[in-house]
Amino acid sequence: MQEDQEPVNKVDRNKVYFLVIVIAALLGINAYLYFKDKQQSNRFVNVSTEKDRLNLEVEKIEAELDKVNSLNVTLSEKLQLEQKLAREKIAELKLSLQKGKLTQGDLDDAQKQIKELKEFVKNYNDQITRLEKENSYLKTERDSLKTTVNTYSEKADNLEKENENLNAKVKVGAALKANSVTIAAFKVKSSGKNVQVTRAGTASKFTINFSIVPNPLAEKNYHKVYLRVFDPAGNLVANENNTFVADGQQMQYSSVIEFAYNDDDTAYKINWVNPNEFMKGKYSIILYADGFVMGKNQIELR
């Protein structure tokens, strides 16, 4: 009886050993798979984190370029081309980092390109900063020169005005002035003889006599004297086509003479024949020379 039970116990022990080995093997496989999955998970997390970090680096680089564009600096063609190439490289990197899966090699390449871009942006910003400083210096110089030019221009304008005022004073001072202006009315007989009259009905012309006040500033040359005659009603007696300029205005004149002035005591005379009939009342005459009033007087006809 005891001999029959011994083989049975031996078989049971073998089964137990086999089950232990199987369980141990399964535990080993599970442990291997667990650690493998953990390593893959860690690697995925590391790759994903690196990808996010690189994306952030690219955005920072792009922000640096945008900041440069906000500066009031005119870029040369070379700098414009460099920025264009950098933005193209940034666009390529963004597209590359948006891929679903990236290998470590892809990330290493991206890291290398980002490093190059960082170096480029640093040099690029240095150039822009230097250019901005130069522009600021030139602007300061330009403003300083502009201020200086404006100051000299203002001084020149003031000098010009002073010269104009001085010239105007010289012109006034050099203008001829009449002395002892007298008016007489005459009747011309058929024989040609002039007879002085005081009545309007018999008068046919005025004779105006005057001399010139000595003036060393006056030009010793030919001068014109313009006569303006106003009737008792205050109307100018003149041909509308006869004009001259005096006191900055264009005027009509009744008669004009031209004479050579030598700064001596020469007496001058103007004969004015009235194209109309004389009226009773007071006539006024004004003489002009060198653009200014030379002298004036009145005569009353009965």
Identify the three-state secondary structure at position 192.
coil
> Does a structural domain hold residue 80?
yes
> Does a structural domain hold residue 118?
yes
What's the domain count of the chain? 2
Higher pLDDT: 135 or 290? It is: 290
- Which of 117, 134, 151 marks a domain boundary? 134
* Letter string b/e over residues 223-244, b meaning 16 or more CB atoms within 10 A of that residue's CB: bebbbbbbbeeeeebbeeeeee
Asked if 228 and 238 touch (Cβ cutoff 8 Å), the reply is yes
Two structure tokens written together for 18: 């086999």
Question: Which of 92-101, 153-162, 216-225, 258-267 shows the lowest mean pLDDT across its residues?
Answer: 92-101
Do residues 250 and 130 both lie within one domain?
no
- Which of 104, 134, 164 marks a domain boundary? 134
> Does a structural domain hold residue 169?
no
Which residue shows structure tokens 């060393």?
216
> Does a structural domain hold residue 151?
no
Q: What are the residues facing 166 on neighbouring strands?
A: none
Interval 92-97 mean pLDDT? 73
Instruction: Report the length, in residues, of the chain.
Output: 302
pLDDT of residue 42: 44
State how far the Cα of 169 lies from the Cα of 96, in Å rounded to an integer: 86
Two structure tokens written together for 271: 């004969």
Do residues 13 and 117 both lie within one domain?
yes
Asked if 179 and 212 touch (Cβ cutoff 8 Å), the reply is yes
pLDDT at residue 237 above 90?
A: yes
pLDDT at residue 195 above 50?
A: yes
> Does a structural domain hold residue 280?
yes
Identify the three-state secondary structure at position 231.
coil
State how far the Cα of 265 lies from the Cα of 61, in Å rounded to an integer: 96
Tally Cβ neighbours within 10 Å of residue 283: 22
Interval 37-42 mean pLDDT? 48
Identify the three-state secondary structure at position 99.
coil
Do residues 126 and 184 both lie within one domain?
no
Higher pLDDT: 169 or 126? It is: 126
Which residue shows structure tokens 């003479």?
257
Q: Sign of dihedral through CA atoms 164, 166, 168, 170? A: negative
- Which of 102, 134, 166 marks a domain boundary? 134
Do residues 208 and 272 both lie within one domain?
yes
> Does a structural domain hold residue 57?
yes
Do residues 197 and 103 both lie within one domain?
no
Q: What is the pLDDT of residues 115-138, one digit of tens each?
A: 777 777 777 777 777 777 777 777
Do residues 9 and 130 both lie within one domain?
yes
Do residues 213 and 120 both lie within one domain?
no
Do residues 189 and 101 both lie within one domain?
no
**Which residues form the domain of 60?**
2-134
Which residue shows structure tokens 């010139």?
212
pTM for the full predicted model: 0.48
Do residues 57 and 122 both lie within one domain?
yes
CATH number for the domain spanning 268: value is 2.60.40.2560
Q: Sign of dihedral through CA atoms 32, 34, 36, 38? A: negative
> Does a structural domain hold residue 141?
no
> Does a structural domain hold residue 142?
no
Two structure tokens written together for 48: 């994903």
- Place 96 in a pLDDT band, splitting at 50, 70 and 90: confident
State how far the Cα of 70 lies from the Cα of 150, in Å rounded to an integer: 32
